[in-house]
Structure 1
Amino acid sequence: MPWSILKLRNFLTSLVNVNEQIRNCQHSLTQLNIKSTNTKPEQKQRYNPGGTSALSTIKDNQNTSKITITKRRPCVFCNQDHWDSDCVNYTTLNARLSRLKVLKKCTICLRDSHKGQNCNVKKQCFYCKSSHNSALCNKRNSLSLNNTMSQRNEEHERIRPSKRKDCSTSLYNSTLTTRSKQTKETLLLCKKIKVFNPSQPQLQQNTLALFDIGSQLSFISKKLSRQLKLTETESQIMRIAPFGMKEPKSCPTARIQLNVLTTGSEIIPLQANIIDYLTNELQVVETSNELQIQNLTNYWKKPDVLIGADYFFKFIKLREIRELKSGHMLVQSKVGLMIAGNGDIKKLCKNELYPKEVVYSTNVNISTELEKFWKLETIGIQESPQDDDDDQALKHFKRTIIKQGGRYQNLINRLQHNSNLHSYHQILMDQLHSGIIEEVPPKDEVGVIHYLPHHEVLTPSKSTTKLRIVYDASAHHKGFKSLNEVLYRGPVMLPDLVGVILRYRMMKIVITADIEKAFLQLELQNEERNCTRFLWLDDIDKELTNENIKCYRFKRVPFGIISSPFLLAATLNYHLENHGSELAWEIRKNLYVDNVIISANGTEEALYKYERTKEIFAEASMNIREFLSNDEEFNERIAECDLSQTNQENFLGLKWNHERDIIRVTLKPWIGKSLTKRTILQFIASQYDPLGLLVPIMIKLKLFIQHLWKENIPWDQSLNKQDEQQWINLIKEWPTNIIELPRFIMETSQLTEFHIFTDASKVAYSAAIYILNHGYQNTYSNSFLIYAKSRIAPIKGMSIPRLELLSVLIGVRAAQFVLKQLNLENNQVTLWTDSKCVLYWIQNYTKLLPRFIQNRIEEIRKSNFELNYIPSDQNPADIATKGVSPLKLQNCKQWWKGPRWLELKKSEWPKVAIQETMNLQKQLL
């Protein structure tokens, strides 16, 4: 076979990897052998076996237990599961040094709390033997830079052999990382069980137990023992000899008493030894208590209880075992069915779960989210990936919905100080008398028991509910999950917010309303109520004592639970779908959480829909109220109790004056916080602009954030003088009121067109969409900006023609989105750009273009929009790309109305635009 430089590099890289692993294997075994005699602190192991390692415990009798070798730490640069020197996210020496600087880690030992010049660690590079960390070796990097990702994956999947006997065990463990291609897995006997404190039965936990006949003793983790507040006895030192070692290791332990509740409600007491760490995460296949083994799911979890041979046979029935098609064994026990043994996971489970060694998860952080400002992958109008949990939640909802009968100390001090304590108490008493909450019956321990913290939210501007009680289901103790973390969120079933607002602006007569206490109209089933318990005073005039506390729980779905929005939306959709009327369909389409909008063409139609809407929601035992319309006759003729009395009119965040039927476009003021990257980003995110009307203002602020990002400025570090002055210049003219716009912008009897204008610069690209209404026989025309979109150019840089192409692409996608939301997909659409190059690309079908360009051109062509050229000085999108101050935008007619000639007859449009487009077409022909 002929050799090449690339193959030679790959071979050398593979050889270096093998040598590195052998060296670490020898080091690991050396550390294991000297553990019992060496007084130095234990060294961190780099390898992690895939299963548990058998141990023998040296006590009065030779008892057995389980431990595992410590799991290696993730990559210091990207926190993923590979070696530091193999990081593919930070491949160059400069990139890695910059990353360490951001993380404030030492460049020699890669640890926190000091810098390289102060490091006392003696490090020798594995590759070049110099005094630096191996991950920061220039020679190593030059060897591996040309390797492709697929080649790296092949290296990780290849089993690396070795002739040395003294490290064969570690090599075997390391080859477990190649199981990503295997489907056969050996499962241990694991089951979720319910355990509780014998002396305090209310202290209970659902936890994972490992049933291990190879262990003579039973064990419990120290974490679970603390959670259950178990009483420790017989404290002693137990000596444990790991498998393959002659010398035992000392381990402090104590005995506890623990009760296990079986599926038949039998209580099995057991005594167990406390140990800091039982084992690594184990693969578990969850089964129901029915003999229907289908749609199973598997997951990884650490057990907190190990039930050894001393109690094993009190739970397991060895005679009642049968083999499954996958090859695994189905074992019956007093705590439910378990699946164990070796078999094909794909045949057993509905979800293909990769082995634990190659699975990792990352927390979404603010830095990642911020990058979406300029990432190319997020230029679409809407991205809505579906989670598997969403399907599960929806199926569970449809299976369980039932229609019935048409139907703490700091907090108290604060409420007393604000004179709101009596109001707070009165709300709870009203809810008690209305059947929204109830006192917890004595000895009711059904289901999961959980207590919700609660606090007040004040909204003085509201005419109905000025004080609202909010329950914090995201609160949790350290080391425990919150209620929201263990509940299904459910799929997002709300209509698109921008779509609702667009339709709102197209309604001649608009009626807004909301559902009274919407979330509190959904009843909880009895077995689920105990997870919504909360505490309150029995007598608010007495001091807070144990005797003055009452325990309540919800009978209805409380606001603040993560699944509440889904449950409300799913229930309303279910009710409106089953109603089947045309009005019910209209309500469902324009129902956002508990906000309703209805359209009408006249007062009588509006009154009819008002009455029918009240009836539709009454059938679900819901009251719809707070009606308000731009039709004053309608407002005068409906029942006074249904009319909104608020002084500050607001619809989905928009400031609406119903008497003049206008929308006020506003900005939130800068309140003079400390100047940091975090406070500036918070300020930008607080500006509410769903339709993109303020894009020319916001683009400059986003560019400033990108500048801070490029400078690697920490989130909470104060800005330097230069950046501080630049920010002050950006917001020194910052009016809160920008402009007043008509809400209603489309007559149904008119001929309507849509015009898209696109533009790009080296720093940003944008698109603006205008609706153009023509009067009867074209006697007049009027245009309005209805939607705009902009994005910052990628940090890495891109040519102006390519950015112009992206601006056309987001213009096409935005227009398709608007037309779909308004159900006007057959209307005429014209797209204008000032890039002749892009027009040439789109209209040239003969020349093969680069793949990046060709893919986007093909998507643009599929839209069948008419394409025209427009000079830059007449292009309103140019304003969004360059950005302007708020004061200039207030009076910028070109932005709010489009080019001044757009409202003229087509015969009066400037010749240059039409002529340039015709000339380009002739050139192509």
Structure 2
Amino acid sequence: MTSHVFGNSPSPAIASYGLLKTVEHADQDVKNFVQHNFYVDDGLISLPNESDAISLMKRTQSTMKLEGQIRLHKITSNKQAVMDAFDVSDHGEQLKEIDSDDMIHRSLGLCWRLKDDTFVFTVPTEENPFTRRGLLSTVNSLFDPLGFISPIIISGKILLRECTPEGVDWDEPLPVNNLQKWKEWQSSLHCLSDIAIPRMMSHTSVSSAQTAEVHIFSDASEKAIAASAYIKTVSDGQTSVRFIMGRSKLAPLNGHTIPRLELCGAVLATELAEIISVQLGIPLQTMRFYTDSRVVLGYIGNRTRRFYTYVSNRVDRILRISNANQWNFISSEKNPADSCTRRNTNVINIMRLPWITGPQWLCDVTEMKPTQFPLVEPDSDREVRPIDRPMKMD
């Protein structure tokens, strides 16, 4: 071949390499923009003010055109001043006036409403049959990569599991005993169109805040495992706590005790921490973790006993990302991740759940002292290896 073919497996890597080469000798902020804020050919970035955004975009446009004959266009912003700084031919396709209520831009699958700078959700309208395939199609039609509506999605997954007997075929009609519950959950999805999540995760730009702390909570039940992360920012005497992202997944059906599930939730919390650290540039060592399981805290802080393989492997994973002093106990009533491990079928109430509103009690917390948590009844815990005793010789 004498040219690269669009759609080949290495095409995204080649495209990214080409973009990086065009800004090899550019200003440092332009290089950082292209290196860290582009996904193939889509660049997304948030800046403290309009002048910074205009300057960065114009210099990036100029560099790409000069060095690689690449046209950077389809520009979209929630600020009219930014849009006015560029020719109309460089604007995003099919954009309406900035004051239009219908102005929604899709960015990597997320629906971004520019007028009020919020993320909104599209409501699935297709009626699927009451089969395993139909139910799975409905649940998977909800695109939510940041976990805003995880309490709703995980409820649908739990219902899907309950509605599907073992061994049922994909297109076989399901038993009708759970049909009413499924219809109630499905009909409640129409309220998603009324949900709007502010794009900004703080009352001020995180980069200009005096302090920015990440607090991550985990929880588990027999039905689900969840973790949610929040950022606490302080600027000009004002403190705010906002949702960053969350994750949830179904709990395994068999063979797992509640302590094991809670430990899986703690692992999920550290996975969120890794993502946030890379994306926001906040060191892992400064983050705080919370769980309502003293057993898990005992596992993480243990230095005297050995565990069997399941617990040992997961504690190792947790301690590779965090240390025992970063973990804290939180009661279930104050744990926002608890909202996701209980079934929530009412979409209307999701904006009032602590999962979205965040733990506002953090605004009043100035400092949390490290606490040591001992193992809980280690001699009767099946996950703790017994202490080897010396053999008696006759």
TM-score bracket for this pair, using the shorter chain length: 0.7 to 0.9
Q: Which residue of 2 aligns with 1:724?
A: 179
CA displacement at 1:598 relative to structure 2: 4.1
Q: Is the 8 A contact 2:274 2:284 kept in 1?
A: no
| Counterpart pick for 1:763 among 223, 229, 237 | 223
Q: Which residue of 1 aligns with 2:201?
A: 745
One-letter amino acid of the structure 1 residue matched with residue 37 of structure 2? N
CA displacement at 1:578 relative to structure 2: 6.7
One-letter amino acid of the structure 2 residue matched with residue 642 of structure 1? D
Gaps of 5+ in 1: 1-523, 529-555
CA displacement at 1:708 relative to structure 2: 5.0
Q: Is the 8 A contact 1:587 1:597 kept in 2?
A: no
Q: Which residue of 2 aligns with 1:818?
A: 276
Q: Which residue of 1 aligns with 2:343?
A: 883
CA displacement at 1:657 relative to structure 2: 2.6
Q: Which residue of 2 aligns with 1:896?
A: 356
Q: Is the 8 A contact 2:132 2:172 kept in 1?
A: yes
Q: Which residue of 2 aligns with 1:792?
A: 250
Q: Deviations over 1:113-149 (max 9, x none)?
A: xxxxxxxxxxxxxxxxxxxxxxxxxxxxxxxxxxxxx
**1:815, 1:667 → 2: CA distance?**
28
CA displacement at 1:893 relative to structure 2: 4.2
**1:837, 1:923 → 2: CA distance?**
6
**2:240, 2:114 → 1: CA distance?**
22
Q: Which residue of 1 aligns with 2:119?
A: 663
CA displacement at 1:669 relative to structure 2: 2.1
Q: Which residue of 2 aligns with 1:322?
A: none
SS at match of 1:744: coil
CA displacement at 1:890 relative to structure 2: 3.1
Q: Which residue of 1 aligns with 2:84?
A: 636
Judging changes above 3 Å, is the alpha-carbon distance between structure 1 residues 729 and 597 closer, same or farther for their aligned structure 2 residues?
A: closer
SS at match of 2:303: coil
CA displacement at 1:848 relative to structure 2: 2.0
Q: Deviations over 1:265-317 (max 9, x none)?
A: xxxxxxxxxxxxxxxxxxxxxxxxxxxxxxxxxxxxxxxxxxxxxxxxxxxxx
Q: Deviations over 1:469-490 (max 9, x none)?
A: xxxxxxxxxxxxxxxxxxxxxx
Q: Deviations over 1:312-350 (max 9, x none)?
A: xxxxxxxxxxxxxxxxxxxxxxxxxxxxxxxxxxxxxxx
CA displacement at 1:921 relative to structure 2: 6.1
One-letter amino acid of the structure 2 residue matched with residue 693 of structure 1? F
Alignment of 1:585 with 2:32, yes or no, is: yes
**1:838, 1:669 → 2: CA distance?**
39
CA displacement at 1:670 relative to structure 2: 4.4
**1:880, 1:583 → 2: CA distance?**
40
**1:773, 1:733 → 2: CA distance?**
34
One-letter amino acid of the structure 1 residue matched with residue 36 of structure 2? K
Q: Deviations over 1:161-186 (max 9, x none)?
A: xxxxxxxxxxxxxxxxxxxxxxxxxx
SS at match of 1:601: coil
Gaps of 5+ in 2: 97-103, 378-394
**1:732, 1:607 → 2: CA distance?**
44
Q: Which residue of 1 aligns with 2:43?
A: 596
CA displacement at 1:803 relative to structure 2: 0.6
| Counterpart pick for 1:700 among 155, 176, 183 | 155
**1:719, 1:826 → 2: CA distance?**
46
**1:759, 1:702 → 2: CA distance?**
17
**2:11, 2:162 → 1: CA distance?**
40
Q: Is the 8 A contact 1:628 1:643 kept in 2?
A: yes
Q: Which residue of 2 aligns with 1:805?
A: 263
**1:775, 1:608 → 2: CA distance?**
25
CA displacement at 1:804 relative to structure 2: 0.6
Judging changes above 3 Å, is the alpha-carbon distance between structure 1 residues 900 and 607 closer, same or farther for their aligned structure 2 residues?
A: closer
Alignment of 1:834 with 2:281, yes or no, is: no
SS at match of 1:759: strand
SS at match of 2:177: helix
Q: Which residue of 2 aligns with 1:649?
A: 105
SS at match of 2:124: coil
| Counterpart pick for 1:675 among 124, 127, 130 | 130
CA displacement at 1:641 relative to structure 2: 2.1
Q: Which residue of 2 aligns with 1:388?
A: none
Q: Is the 8 A contact 1:576 1:588 kept in 2?
A: no
Q: Is the 8 A contact 2:64 2:72 kept in 1?
A: yes
Q: Is the 8 A contact 2:124 2:142 kept in 1?
A: no
Name the count of aligned residue pairs: 361
SS at match of 1:791: strand
Judging changes above 3 Å, is the alpha-carbon distance between structure 1 residues 833 and 625 closer, same or farther for their aligned structure 2 residues?
A: same
Judging changes above 3 Å, is the alpha-carbon distance between structure 1 residues 557 and 638 closer, same or farther for their aligned structure 2 residues?
A: same
Alignment of 1:626 with 2:74, yes or no, is: yes
Judging changes above 3 Å, is the alpha-carbon distance between structure 1 residues 831 and 661 closer, same or farther for their aligned structure 2 residues?
A: same
**1:884, 1:577 → 2: CA distance?**
50
**2:73, 2:371 → 1: CA distance?**
57
**2:361, 2:9 → 1: CA distance?**
51
Judging changes above 3 Å, is the alpha-carbon distance between structure 1 residues 592 and 730 closer, same or farther for their aligned structure 2 residues?
A: same
One-letter amino acid of the structure 1 residue matched with residue 242 of structure 2? F
Q: Is the 8 A contact 2:294 2:376 kept in 1?
A: no
Q: Which residue of 1 aligns with 2:304?
A: 846
Judging changes above 3 Å, is the alpha-carbon distance between structure 1 residues 713 and 901 closer, same or farther for their aligned structure 2 residues?
A: same
Choose between structure 1 and 2 for higher RCO, CA contacts under 8 A separated by at least 6 residues.
2
Q: Is the 8 A contact 2:228 2:336 kept in 1?
A: yes
Q: Is the 8 A contact 2:130 2:173 kept in 1?
A: yes
**Alpha carbon RMSD of aligned pairs, Å?**
2.8
CA displacement at 1:676 relative to structure 2: 1.4
CA displacement at 1:877 relative to structure 2: 0.8
Q: Is the 8 A contact 1:756 1:832 kept in 2?
A: yes
CA displacement at 1:770 relative to structure 2: 0.6
Judging changes above 3 Å, is the alpha-carbon distance between structure 1 residues 600 and 805 closer, same or farther for their aligned structure 2 residues?
A: closer
SS at match of 2:162: helix
**1:878, 1:922 → 2: CA distance?**
23
CA displacement at 1:562 relative to structure 2: 5.0
Q: Is the 8 A contact 2:155 2:343 kept in 1?
A: yes
SS at match of 2:240: strand
Q: Is the 8 A contact 2:302 2:374 kept in 1?
A: no
**1:918, 1:895 → 2: CA distance?**
25
Structure that is richer in helix per residue: 2
**1:681, 1:905 → 2: CA distance?**
42
Judging changes above 3 Å, is the alpha-carbon distance between structure 1 residues 711 and 607 closer, same or farther for their aligned structure 2 residues?
A: same
Structure that is richer in strand per residue: 1
Alignment of 1:613 with 2:71, yes or no, is: no
Q: Deviations over 1:508-543 (max 9, x none)?
A: xxxxxxxxxxxxxxxx62xx7xxxxxxxxxxxxxxx
Judging changes above 3 Å, is the alpha-carbon distance between structure 1 residues 680 and 851 closer, same or farther for their aligned structure 2 residues?
A: same
Q: Could you tell me the percent identity over the aligned residues?
A: 27
CA displacement at 1:919 relative to structure 2: 8.4
One-letter amino acid of the structure 1 residue matched with residue 80 of structure 2? E
Q: Which residue of 2 aligns with 1:305?
A: none
Judging changes above 3 Å, is the alpha-carbon distance between structure 1 residues 749 and 566 closer, same or farther for their aligned structure 2 residues?
A: closer
Q: TM-score, normalised by structure 1?
A: 0.37
Q: Deviations over 1:856-909 (max 9, x none)?
A: 2233234126111111122111111113124344332412122231222448x9
CA displacement at 1:730 relative to structure 2: 2.2
Alignment of 1:572 with 2:10, yes or no, is: no
CA displacement at 1:568 relative to structure 2: 2.9
Judging changes above 3 Å, is the alpha-carbon distance between structure 1 residues 903 and 712 closer, same or farther for their aligned structure 2 residues?
A: same
Q: Is the 8 A contact 1:577 1:585 kept in 2?
A: no
Q: Deviations over 1:701-752 (max 9, x none)?
A: 2123333555211011122222433321322322232522221224323201
Q: How does 1:900-915 map to 2 (within 5 A)?
A: 900-906=360-366
Judging changes above 3 Å, is the alpha-carbon distance between structure 1 residues 564 and 848 closer, same or farther for their aligned structure 2 residues?
A: closer
Which shifted more, 629-638 or 792-801? 629-638
Judging changes above 3 Å, is the alpha-carbon distance between structure 1 residues 676 and 788 closer, same or farther for their aligned structure 2 residues?
A: same
**1:844, 1:749 → 2: CA distance?**
39
SS at match of 1:788: strand
Q: Is the 8 A contact 2:110 2:119 kept in 1?
A: yes
**1:613, 1:739 → 2: CA distance?**
35
SS at match of 2:75: strand
CA displacement at 1:685 relative to structure 2: 1.7
Alignment of 1:861 with 2:314, yes or no, is: no
**1:817, 1:877 → 2: CA distance?**
18
